[in-house]
Structure 1
Amino acid sequence: MLRFVSQIDTDPSTAHDPLYVMFHGYGNDESEMIRILDAVYRQDDRADVASQPTRRPNYLSFRGTVDRPYMGGSYWYPDGCGVDERRRACSTIGDAVVSLLDAGMFSNRRTILVGFSQGGYLSYRMVVEHPTLFDAAILLSPSFTGETDTILASDTRCFLAYGTEDRTIPPADQLTARRVLNTAGHLEYHEYAGMGHAICEQEISDIRMFVDR
């Protein structure tokens, strides 16, 4: 069963604003991605935006389908599971999300996937299996084990980011992610010096510029 929180502005004047479809990392919950999106949209001190109203992003932020006992938080697929099991889990979730997005209130919006770690992998698999549906995918430190033979054929713009000190995602998997996403020809890649398996302020700024294009 899909669990999510949403913020959708029904004002007709915002009908073409993007819709963010977001998936958190292992052991977290839907609030993780809302914090990231809020940071992307927070009003800054630049003179060219100071007089503009604060934008209110539209989003669906999903909670992992499996709850983590004792420690809290959720996840999308078990640690250490095989590639086939991981892909099946992502397919089931992705198909359910796509069915939800078929609602009329979402029909005219640009749809942007956002995912961190496990959620980044899930977002990537949704692009693989639904290559014409999403306008962009923001993949933050995604897991990428087992994807060496994947060929991505999609016009979806992809933002891929890793920290140079990320010890959670092996370097070989990071290289695979970059190579596979590059095959489609729509990749924007960022690497952040000194950052681990996390999000940094420069990354937030780069995401803001990516979504504004």
Structure 2
Amino acid sequence: MRLSSVNHIETIVGDRNAATGDDRLFVMFHGYGNDEREMIRVIDGVYAGARRTPSYLSFHGTYDRDYMGGAYWYPDGCGIEERRRECSAVGNAVVALLDSPMFASRRKILIGFSQGGYMSYRIVREHPDVFDAAILMSPSFKGEEATDGTAIAGDTRFLLLYGSEDHTIPLDDQRTAHRVLGETGRLESREYTGVGHAIRKAEIEDIGKFIEL
């Protein structure tokens, strides 16, 4: 089912909790130039072969690309404050959507790729008590070098995934991600040899282990 929620954030909803007994709810954000189906393919891959099927909210980026198709969450090359404002607006809307008795008993897991990974990180930083886990796949992390000395509050567990040949995300930004998330004491990370800014089977397998399928 497709719907438009707060602030015209479009999403695809798949809720199979009643049928499977799986209390996880995946809240998903795609990368630049893709759409909400990207993350559905990822989570379907994670659950392939499992007896359960996932429940999810897979969101469509707030800006559509002219002519080329796909969408994005914040303009390419925008400044730090603009990027954070865009993420805050989406995060506030999504958290408001989740503030419902329908989702109260669910374990909520963020998962995002690239821009969507950065979005997931910013949502946890601003809403630290909402999510049980956040899976950040090749996240952009530009501008997060200085965090004003404030650690990420809450108990959210993090899984951080990068390819060793990912040149889309500069190495310094990857190091920043490791440092900022590592300071929580709740970080697991993986690096995939020979992989660029992409998603591979090994990552899918590691996500399954992380969420204990």
Q: TM-score, normalised by structure 1?
A: 0.92
Partner of 1:49: none
Partner-residue secondary structure (3-state), 1:60: strand
Q: 1:128 corresponds to which letter in structure 2?
A: R
Q: 1 CA distance for matches of 2:12 and 2:101?
A: 18
The equivalences for 1:63-102 within 5 A come to: 63-102=60-99
In the alignment, the residues of structure 2 paired with residue 69 and residue 13 of structure 1 have an alpha-carbon distance, to the nearest angstrom, of 40
Corresponding position of 1:135: 132
The alignment's C-alpha RMSD in Å is: 1.3
CA contact (8 A) 2:12 2:36 kept: yes
Give unmatched runs, 5+ long, in structure 2. Answer: 1-7
Q: Which residue of structure 1 lines up, in the alignment, with residue 112 of structure 2?
A: 115
Give the counterpart of 2:12 among 5, 10, 16: 5
Corresponding residue of 2:47: 41
How far the C-alpha of 1:103 sits from its partner, in A, is 1.6
Which of 15, 30, 33 in structure 2 is aligned with 1:27?
A: 33
Post-superposition shift, 1:10? 5.1
How many matched pairs?
203
How big is the shift at 1:154?
2.8
Q: Contact between 2:20 and 2:53, CA under 8 Å: does it hold in 1? A: no
Separation of aligned partners in 2, 1:85 and 1:7? 31
Percent identity over the alignment is 60
Distance 1:13 1:23, change over 3 A: closer
Cα deviation 1:116-166 (Å, max 9, x = unaligned) = 000000000000000111000000000000001123223100000000000
Alignment TM-score, normalising by the size of structure 2: 0.92
Distance 1:140 1:13, change over 3 A: closer
**Residue aligning to 2:53:** 56
User: 2:18 and 2:166 mapped to 1: Cα distance?
Assistant: 41
Q: Distance in 1 between matches of 2:159 and 2:20?
A: 27
Preserved CA contact (<8 Å) 2:73 2:115: yes
